Structure 1
Amino acid sequence: MATQSPQPSEPFIAPQGAHIDLDGHPTDVLMRLEHPRVALLGGLLTPAECQALIDCARPRLARSRTVVASTGGEEINADRTSRGMFFERGETALISRIEQRIARLLHWPASHGEGLQVLHYRPGEQYHPHYDYFDPAQPGAATLLSRGGQRVATLILYLNQPALGGDTDLPQAGLHIAAHPGNALFFAYPQAHPDSATLHAGAPVLEGEKWIATKWLRERVF
């Protein structure tokens, strides 16, 4: 009987080369950074997949919410002014195909991730600087960690290109990533601490609109 390979300790993108073949889907590594652990990927989604995600998400959009660290609940927060929705994991053939592609890319099981969230930003809308991990020192941490443990990495998939603005900013790293359809931004935070240098923000859209999809990876089955 074949021995199953152990799960890696954290999500990662294999370092060899600038081109990755994900079972016939070509993806390019456009940029890497060691601290924070960041990679910019080209062509992770096709134009048709980007449009299909937008079309499927549009009728289900509602005002985005943020986590309440003190309780583990959610609230509408002025820091986050987009609208969004979540797909159930494996909800459609399209979602399942994208999730499996992400799992192969990051060497992390699809089961160890939240459902894909699609977000829509109109002119003036943004998401102020924040961390994606859950602060273990906060009273609501036990509730937030009870399903799947800590978040360990984020993948932002860009579905379109705003006419102006809407960059993803990582101020601790001095990075400003422009949205480009099909590209994706990966960053990992093996420790739930500001030392991860993964503070990030969605800069205001100045003209046009921005569509992204976000995948948060968890320590365990979510």
Structure 2
Amino acid sequence: MQPSQTAPSATTADLARIARHPGVQRFPGAALILFQQKHFLTPDECAALIGRIDARRRPSTIADANGDSLFRTSETCDLDHGDPFVADIDARIAGWLGIDPAHGEPIQGQRYAAGQEFKPHTDYFEPNGSDYARYCSVAGNRTWTAMIYLNEPAQGGATRFTSIGKTIRPQTGKMLAWSNRRADGSLNPDSIHHGMKVRGGTKYVITKWYRERPWSG
């Protein structure tokens, strides 16, 4: 199947196709389009990604700084798309979603040590934000997010979708994928989520975002 162009919102056919993947789970409710796919990556693939993240990690940042220096305390790594291993995973995510890979940002890795978190936030850029033009003038806003847990911390580190009251615990290789839009194409504030504080051990994830128009860096 050829991937479709990313649209401002997912069509019924798009969602039905995703739901046909073996073992996929769509969370109930109309407030948020949210899927879960266990074992999307193998433990060996996750370990290889963790090694790449540890080699290049740096302090995470946020757009539209809100004055809270503790809002996002993780570390981030921009994975090298020229690495065939990373490129293969990138292609598999796009194929699973049915999104043209040209619309995807480079995959990022995140590392959360004990005590670190990412407080409740949405992945799209607020149109009235001071950095909106900087981040969205070319490729447009973010439409879909895919996030994969690479390990299971000793304690804490769950992802909580605060508006819909859904908490998902890390499981090695498990992917979450959600639309940052409502069915009518408008931005969906119910996509707000909290990378909850790690209480013991370390948490690793990778995150892939897709845009309205092709990504050009």
Q: TM-score range by the shorter chain?
A: 0.7 to 0.9
What secondary structure, in the 3-state scheme, does the structure 2 residue paired with 1:156 have? strand
Question: Match for residue 92 of structure 1?
Answer: 83
Matches of 1:164 and 1:30 in 2, distance apart?
A: 24
Change (3 A) 1:192 1:132: farther
- C-alpha deviation, 1:111, in angstroms: 1.4
Alignment match, 1:117: 108
Shift of 1:8: 5.0
Higher relative contact order by CA 8 Å / sep ≥ 6: 1 or 2?
A: 2
Could you say which residue in structure 1 is the equivalent of 2:25?
30
1:59 aligns with 2:59: no
**Identity between Structure 1 and Structure 2 (%):** 30
TM-score, structure 2 as length reference: 0.86
Is 2:112–2:203's contact at 8 Å kept on the other side of the alignment? yes
When residues 86 and 17 of structure 1 are mapped into structure 2, their CA distance, relative to the original with a 3 A threshold, is closer
* Letter in structure 1 aligned against 2:70: A
The whole-number CA distance in structure 2 between the counterparts of 1:5 and 1:217 is 13
Residue 15 of structure 1 is matched in structure 2 by: 16
For the Cα contact (< 8 Å) 1:133–1:192, is it kept in 2?
no
Pick the structure with more strand per residue. Answer: 1
Q: Secondary structure at the match of 1:52?
A: helix
The alignment status of 1:45 with 2:41, answered yes or no, reads yes
SS in 1 for 2:103: coil
Q: Residue 51 and residue 156 in structure 1: after superposition, are their counterparts in 2 closer, same or farther (change >3 A)? A: same
- Whether the 8 Å CA contact 2:4–2:100 is kept in 1: the answer is no
1:82 pairs with 2:77: no
Gaps of 5+ in 1: 21-26
Deviation track 1:3-40 (CA, whole Å, cap 9, x = no partner) reads: x88625245764369662xxxxxx52134334211011
Output aligned runs, 1:118-197, within 5 Å: 118-190=109-181, 191=185, 193=187, 195-197=188-190
Contact 2:143 2:211 survives alignment (8 Å) = yes
Q: Which residue of 1 aligns with 2:98?
A: 107
Q: Structure 2: 5+ residue runs without aligned partners?
A: none
Query: Runs of 4 or more off by more than 3 Å in structure 1?
Result: 10-14, 16-19
How many residue pairs were aligned?
A: 207
Greater mean deviation of Cα atoms: 173-182 or 40-49? 40-49
**CA shift in 2, pair 1:130/1:8, >3 Å:** closer
CA RMSD of aligned residues (A): 2.4
